[in-house]
Each structure stands twice: as C-alpha cells, then as structure tokens.
Structure 1
C-alpha cells in the first residue's frame, strides 16, 4: 500500500508570505496543495479567490486541487481549470445538474472530483461515482478550519474506500486529520489527507518536522513526545 498523499489546506497558510509558504511546504515533502474556494452562500464563510488559486498554482511544482464550495459551480469550472487546478471537486448539493458539471470538469482539462458532506448519504451520490477520478470525504462540516472530527462518517468512508478500489477513484479525507487518524485511516486504504490546523498549520514547528511525523504516524513508528504532544492541542 502506498503512503497516503499529504495535501496542505492553503486557506490555513500565512497569506502575508504565501510564496514562502508554498516553497517551505514543498521542501517539507508535501504531495500537493488543496485550495478551498468559498462564496459565503453555499457555506457560511469566504476563502480563496481565483487570484489566490492562480498564484498558488503558478508557484507550485506539485499538483493543486480546488474544492469549490460555491453555488453555480458549473459556471466557474473553466476559470479554475485555466488558473491551473488539476483536480476540481464539486458538491452534488450545489448543482441540480451535477452529472453535467462533472463532465464539464473533464472537458476543461481537469480531473473531476466529488466532495461529499458529512450529512450526505452514499446512496444519494452512488450513481455519480463512475464519473469521477477522486472523492473528497468531508469529516467536518465544510466552511471552517479547526472543527472536531465527526466519527459517524467513518462507515461511509470505509464503504467509499472499498468502492474506490473497485471503481478506480481515489479517496481523500478532509477534516481534523490528526496523526492518529492518518495512521488509522491510511491503514484502511484512504489515499490522501487534507492537512489543516489539526496536523500542520499554527504549530510553531518546522513544516519538514511535522510532515516527517505524519509519514511516521502512518508507518506506525510515530510516538508522541512532550514537545510533539503540543502539536495535537
């Protein structure tokens, strides 16, 4: 089993030094960047805009995905593909013609991804899975960093991991991805993890040390020390 992908959520980065953040995270060995776009309507918050996405995609040498938490996502797919997004995630609730939107993402040159909210049942989106290359499983309610992990999502996540192995899509976990959960869910077959304030940002520790710790967590060689325990606070 391959080591799961580690994908920093750039809404948590220091935007006063964004180029330096991108460079430092890449030097630490992250596998890509996760870019959240919020419009204040589909979710009750605002996050990255098109210019932010274009800047990060231009600065990065690793893949960038965009998570569109916006209404009328179909109207904006080509803009974000042109800005450099290699994967575009959309929510079924944001679009009455979501199948058409997923096809539009592929036509734009990006890889289509489906983001699934905690309260969205697998049965609701099961028929869409043949259209996607990636599934983003939200383990917190979308819109804000720093929320607690919602354990009831685990059953749906495990079913999606099994379907992904069968159908050929990747499964990425987004929300409260601590070292322990990366170890547990990575061993169960999750392909990647979005890293926010639970594991990477705001820890006052070098990114390379944190990323090494997350790799070690998955390999089962990570053990908390007094200093690293602060990372989990």
Structure 2
C-alpha cells in the first residue's frame, strides 16, 4: 500500500447488500473503487451493531485492493489482532474510544496494519497533534457515527487545520459521512484525499447491475478532482 495524495474513493459496505457482500466488493472494485471501507460498530461506542472480524475475513478474498477497517468500538485494543488477522490493511480507531489512544496506535502498527485515528465532529484537530508521527491516516467524521445516510456536517475548517498540521508527512485525510458529488468538492478543496461514500455509491445499482456504481463513483471522483483541474 504505497502513499500518494490522489483522490481515492472508498465505498462503505454499510450501504451494500448484506446478503451478497463478496459480490458487492468485487462489483465496486470493478467499477472503479480504490478502497473498500468496512464500518465496524458495537452498539456501545455507537448506537448500532454491524460487523466483526469474521465478516472481514469472509470478504477479504473478494477484495483485490485496500480493505479499510473503521473501528467504531470501545474498547479497541482487544480486537486489533483479530481484525489484522482478518486482512485489514488499514485499522482506524477513534480518539474518543479510550484513554490510551497512543497505545492503540502502537498496537495497530505492531499487528502489521496501517494506523488510522478518527475524530468525531466535536473533537478538534489539535487532539491528534501529539500523534502525527504514529499515524498513516486521520478520518474526519462529517456525521455523528452510528448510521449511514446522515446529513453532512461541514468540517472543512477542521480539515484545513489537519492539512496544515500534517505538513509533508505521509498521512491521508479521510472523510466519512454524507459524501456525494456536492460535498466531495468541499472536502477535497480543504485537503482531503480519501472519500468514504455509502448510499451515494450504492444508490441505484446492485451486484448484478453494477453500472450505476461506476457512474456514482465517477461523479464523486470528478467533483473532487475538479479542485485540481
């Protein structure tokens, strides 16, 4: 997994057909997805329950590229090794999920995965300043975590602050929540390079009719890349 700042589209399988995950992962990659984003929720840290390591292990053979696992769980540390063993390329933990995020990031890297840190809308960019040399990705939540399909919360000021803090470090800025062709322009302009999108990608298509996925992915990418045109 090499680093570059090209726009990457990371469809969230939270919006996919739960009964057909393998085919859905293959379909979105064939239609141009760069990463596959897996939203893990525990019903404790966030008010929803989704997937565990077994689901990640089951879909891993169907993913050729990056499997990006976003842990919206607390505690995090007891589950890191299981998600790494399931094939996660990136494991992201929330800064708010426990008192020892430094230890969590150490554990993620020790398990062989890239380390991400996620910030809820109420958490400032400055929260990660002491951790910048321990992370490969910062995920800016542009909704309150827990459910797909929520309305975008404007975090462009935070994104710009993170971009300035990161400087020339090889750290991705990922956006998760309410991303569509309209909001993609805003966040890319502010400095984001990985865009997670759920309903905006999967709307109108299916694993057996994947062309709408490609249309949706291209629309988001073109909007974001228009910043650099």
**TM-score scaled by structure 2?**
0.90
Q: Deviations over 1:152-197 (max 9, x none)?
A: x221111112223333311001110110221232233211100111
Match of 1:52 among 32, 35, 55: 55
Q: Deviations over 1:36-88 (max 9, x none)?
A: 11110010111112211111222100110111111110111000000000110
Q: Alpha-carbon deviation of 1:2?
A: 5.0
**For residues 57-68 of structure 1, what are the structure 2 equivalents within 5 Å?**
57-68=60-71
In the other structure, the counterpart of 1:156 is 158
**For residues 187-198 of structure 1, what are the structure 2 equivalents within 5 Å?**
187-197=189-199
Secondary structure of the structure 2 residue equivalent to 1:36: strand
In the other structure, the counterpart of 1:120 is 123
Q: Structure 1 residues 1-10 or 77-86, which shifts more?
A: 1-10
Q: Alpha-carbon deviation of 1:214?
A: 2.0
Aligned partners of 1:37 and 1:46 also within 8 Å: yes
How many residues align? The count is 219
Q: For residues 178 and 215 of structure 1, what CA distance do their matches in structure 2 show? A: 9
Q: For residues 212 and 121 of structure 2, what CA distance do their matches in structure 1 show? A: 32
Aligned partners of 2:23 and 2:62 also within 8 Å: no
Q: For residues 191 and 148 of structure 2, what CA distance do their matches in structure 1 show? A: 24
In the other structure, the counterpart of 1:201 is 202
Match of 1:26 among 11, 25, 29: 29
Secondary structure of the structure 2 residue equivalent to 1:34: strand
Structure 2: runs of 5+ lacking an equivalent: 206-210
Q: Alpha-carbon deviation of 1:140?
A: 0.4
Match status 1:210 vs 2:211: no
Per the alignment, do residues 80 and 101 of structure 1 end up closer, same or farther by CA in structure 2, a change over 3 Å counting?
A: same
Per the alignment, do residues 166 and 219 of structure 1 end up closer, same or farther by CA in structure 2, a change over 3 Å counting?
A: closer
Per the alignment, do residues 206 and 45 of structure 1 end up closer, same or farther by CA in structure 2, a change over 3 Å counting?
A: same
Q: Deviations over 1:103-157 (max 9, x none)?
A: 0100000011101110112233321222101100001000101111112x22111
Q: Structure 1 residues 163-172 or 96-105, which shifts more?
A: 163-172
Q: Alpha-carbon deviation of 1:212?
A: 2.0
**TM-score scaled by structure 1?**
0.88
